[in-house]
Structure 1
């Protein structure tokens, strides 16, 4: 039997299906509203503009947007594009955290700070280009049938934001009346916002509305959304949705944020962590089943979780895919596409990025297409072409298959007459397994026919997996 790769699924709330038609309105390109049918097979791409290219500009990224269609990308999530505060600008992170001001003056220029220390929510970071360059990026994405969402930072601002002088009551203060950074964090380069203040809520909604009405963006990925009171989202999101049909992604796991048409998708953090633990040999397949069962109980059937093997935080702070997953990276990348949810590609993942991108300084990703690009392209083709990987309110079924080996994960995704079977060895040792499934299947990679018999064992090499279609 040959090794294989690929498949997926995704989930979300029902939205009326419409064709993607492009029109001109007030010199802005308009793409038809994002629909449930589109989200069923969508891949989301996290664009780190600073590190995507040597130039670190909107234009350098824009020219590559058309080829992202090969990877099934339907949503581009732009990491924060706003100006970054200079006051208390970070130069290093973690336990050795230091401000740029602590380094010699001639060295400070290289420390560009955290994207999440925003100094103005309605301006563009000049590091990336101009507002015209940004508009060109959005237009190019829309021309290619791809939506653009902005990374929004509602929990805090940088220390240069004008609100600190004009509206200090927007911020959380200590007993001495001093504005503080978010409690319980080392985010000393930002000032914590106080959502008890109704005027702050009003201003934040106004700033978010600006990007929808003036710059035609298609939604938001909201940073640490669970740290912002749910009542704010209950106030804000309905107002934003009145402006346009938008896609809302919460960097959060709280089920209540996916209720009442607030956020369309949350983070599958537990799934991600479970994959890391299994890859390191700390857990077995039972941990995956336990996590999945927990998700099935706490989330509604039409909730979507973003599935991923890396993102900007994981790469910079916890390690590359290779560091965390090693030889199992292909298997877990494939798994992130096969289970219900929407798969994420982080800038550089498609090119086999194998170093931790600097967070506060300029860096860049490789640009040579290799096995990673080929795998993601093949997975996208399967996701888009096989209804057994559909998500949304008409999600394809996910069913665990009975297997007599604690290191082997086996499940099916089915819809009507379509089926996909995943059988994978989630360990670094050879495994033999008997899977309770029968029939003739096609190995998605090789195109050969494979016959599974109820009592016939399958031999699997370390981290070997099959994606079988019927």
Structure 2
């Protein structure tokens, strides 16, 4: 445990003096990943030659973001601690389909975004940095004016045009035209085979690592079974992250049986975005989400957890509407996001506390000039999460909760971490007994640097209002030893600097 503390203290120095090494092949453990979610058109403009019809004053038009722009920012994303990037669809879209969800050609890259070679380069560069790439894929529908709609040979490639009126009818949900978008007829073998061939082609051609599957509940489960088998026959560890937009975990988890390993967790989102938008709200609801997930899912540790996405009002707006300081509230939400079971998914702009209302206001162009303490907070959380396996694989227990002051415990093997979150407007003190933690040890703070030593086999955790701390349980150290741990690397750096200066003077 002491070794880990020293390693954590050395992080600032290692970041400055690290050298790139070739990534070794290793088993993919998705619970260890951190996903950075990018809306391609609204991220970074790396190639102005494809900026035709761009109008940054029109929220429904293309704004100039492209694939080269993402490649340019891979180091930025990696410095945040993200290990995987998820991109909105890059397929050729019809007019004003800046978001990528109105497919016009499943085999072509949208010309506003670049070329197939640009995308291959992005994937290659990401892999060189030991980062994975997930591509958003829509197989439920096409764009409003897809060429197949006027192709007489493809009249039966779509379901009959009908809106969805009864959302409790699975038949309507699967066959209706969502928002009037032409609904593909998966029962047609030609359609099914086309989509399966297309999905495997992109893996073989570009070496992507996963798909985020859009509108999963609008496609029959039997199709997803065949789809899952097809893509995993190409790449065994290929990751499928499904979007089943539903509040009932039993409904969502049923799609787990189709071979889709993971889902963006909307029940989790509903709780975290509500609870942390304002203080003095209990965290019990979040823990109940976990207990349900633990019961229903094959592997709840790889569900995609998020506080922001491109379909909902941004978290910052919710905090502002409550009259709260958004950065204070966002720090607490991020702390829970990175320490609770599941894969953290960060939507571009969350790291700079970006504001945004309903679609398309929640899809503003990323602004890299903005400096925010949230960025540093997220990077630090990612490093802590990476350093302590209990935060990715450990069990999850609620030790204490009262009116917004909560203490969680995570344990794996001989490692125990404690997450203390004060979601109240008053300072709080919580006593944790040997019923939950081994006595005669100490809790060493990883965020704020607090140390809590046991007294009579009890630990008194104190937190200021609207703050949080992550502790690791370890053997007691004297203050003298702790100062040495901090001082040694600093003295080493000072000594190295003085040696360089002495050599320069000698020359």
TM bin, normalised by shorter chain, reads 0.7 to 0.9
Distance 1:302 1:128, change over 3 A: same
Distance 1:212 1:342, change over 3 A: same
1:212 aligns with 2:203: yes
Structure 2: 5+ residue runs without aligned partners?
1-7, 9-20, 46-63, 168-175, 474-507
Aligned length: 407
SS in 1 for 2:93: coil
For residue 420 of structure 1, report the CA deviation from its aligned partner: 1.1
Q: 2:408 aligns with which of 407, 411, 417?
A: 411
Structure number with the higher helix fraction is: 2
Greater relative contact order: 1 or 2 (C-alpha under 8 angstroms, separation 6 or more)?
1
The match for 2:235 is 244
For residue 426 of structure 1, report the CA deviation from its aligned partner: 2.4
1:128 aligns with 2:113: yes
Distance 1:400 1:42, change over 3 A: same
User: Is the CA contact 2:40–2:99 (under 8 Å) kept in the aligned structure 1?
Assistant: no
Q: TM-score, normalised by structure 1?
A: 0.78
Which stretches of structure 1, 4 residues or more, deviate above 6 A after TM superposition? none
Q: TM-score, normalised by structure 2?
A: 0.73
The match for 1:72 is 81
Q: 2:304 aligns with which of 303, 306, 310?
A: 306
Distance 1:371 1:188, change over 3 A: same
The match for 1:445 is 447
For residue 290 of structure 1, report the CA deviation from its aligned partner: 2.5
RMSD of the TM alignment (CA)? 3.0
Does 63-72 or 300-309 show the bigger shift? 300-309
1:425 aligns with 2:422: yes
For residue 320 of structure 1, report the CA deviation from its aligned partner: 6.2
* Mapped partners of 1:240, 1:219: distance in 2: 9
* Mapped partners of 1:461, 1:186: distance in 2: 51
SS in 2 for 1:433: strand
User: Is the CA contact 1:255–1:298 (under 8 Å) kept in the aligned structure 2?
Assistant: yes
Larger radius of gyration: 2
For residue 237 of structure 1, report the CA deviation from its aligned partner: 1.0
Distance 1:189 1:142, change over 3 A: farther
Distance 1:35 1:160, change over 3 A: farther
Matches within 5 A, 1:225-374: 225-245=216-236, 246-252=238-244, 254-259=252-257, 262-280=259-277, 284-301=282-299, 304-315=302-313, 319=317, 326=326, 327-356=328-357, 359=360, 363-367=364-368, 368-374=370-376
For residue 360 of structure 1, report the CA deviation from its aligned partner: 8.9
Q: 1:467 aligns with which of 467, 470, 474?
A: 470
* Mapped partners of 2:384, 2:134: distance in 1: 25
SS in 2 for 1:311: coil
* Mapped partners of 2:448, 2:316: distance in 1: 35
User: Is the CA contact 2:277–2:319 (under 8 Å) kept in the aligned structure 1?
Assistant: no
